[in-house]
Amino acid sequence: MTRIDQTFARLRNQNRKAFVAYIMGGDPDSDRSLAVMRGLPGAGVDIIELGMPFTDPMADGPTIQLAGQRSLEGGMTLDRLLDMVRAFRAEDETTPIVLMGYYNPIYSRGVERFLTEAREAGIDGLIVVDLPPEEDDELCVPAQQAGLNFIRLATPTTDNQRLPTVLQNTSGFVYYVSVTGITGSAAAQAGDVGPEVARIKAATDLPVIVGFGITTPEAAQTIASVADGCVVGSAIVKLIGEGRPTEEVLARVADLAAGAHAA
């Protein structure tokens, strides 16, 4: 079992929903980003999604695009990102880390080398938003053979004909994108999300986590109540981009986590 599998098993035993937090690695610089990352578990985060900055983040809205630009301008590279993970792992051996981003930096590095280094650094799973299931042999299958979960996105446009293909090689959890469009673009609605989560859960035993459009503790509670948990990204990244102190960012994360855990 990966750390992700172990976390969901523990949460099921506790009858609790998962709270997943996204931050952009290296935003606005390595030291600040690592300080926030180290504080996330204590703020109630069950799984950390760590963004890989990329120059052309086509699925992301302005908030996360700007975070990626700040990170790159601050000198963040894939090597430095993995060093961040190693530094985190020196203090925390249990919190799962999912690397989220685009295939280009992985392809440029070489899949085999990337997977070896990611696993050694302490990465538990990957979300690569621009590799469809038809390309599973490119990264998904090798990643799972290397012991990493490969987490797939399902969306409101993933119909029943497409869903089995999406789920075929997915592991860890299914990430349900609650709204069409880019990150931070609209508010998630439980009335829309609930039936879709139920449809996905009827086709898989994997947990279903809902992301996009969750910005308040109340929304986190409402969405988590119809799924196995929720992801918050843009609302956290926005505070970092505003230059808020680390303590303020983590206090807001704790409020969001408390909302999800109350579901």
pLDDT in tens, 95-128: 999 999 999 999 999 999 999 999 999 999 999 9
Dihedral angle computed from the Cα positions of residues 251, 255, 260 and 261, in that order, rounded to the nearest 10 degrees: 80
Report whether pLDDT(254) > 60: yes
pLDDT of residue 237: 97
* Bridge partners, 99 (sequence order): 50, 126
Residue among 256, 200, 255 nearest 226 (CA): 200
What distance in Å separates the CA atoms of residue 54 and residue 70, rounded to the nearest whole number?
11
Which conformational region is residue 52 in: left (phi greater than 0), alpha (psi within -120 to 50 degrees), or beta? beta
What CATH code would you report for 3-261?
3.20.20.70
Share of the chain above pLDDT 70, in %: 96
Q: How many CA atoms lie within 13 A of 12 on its CB side?
A: 10
The residues assigned a catalytic role are: 49, 60
**Residue 247 pLDDT more than 50?**
yes
Contact in structure between 44 and 62 (CB atoms under 8 Å): no
CA distance linking residue 251 with residue 263, whole number of Å: 19
Q: Identify the pLDDT of residue 178.
A: 85
pLDDT in tens, 174-197: 999 987 554 544 566 668 899 999
pLDDT for 181: 52
Indicate the pTM of the whole model: 0.95
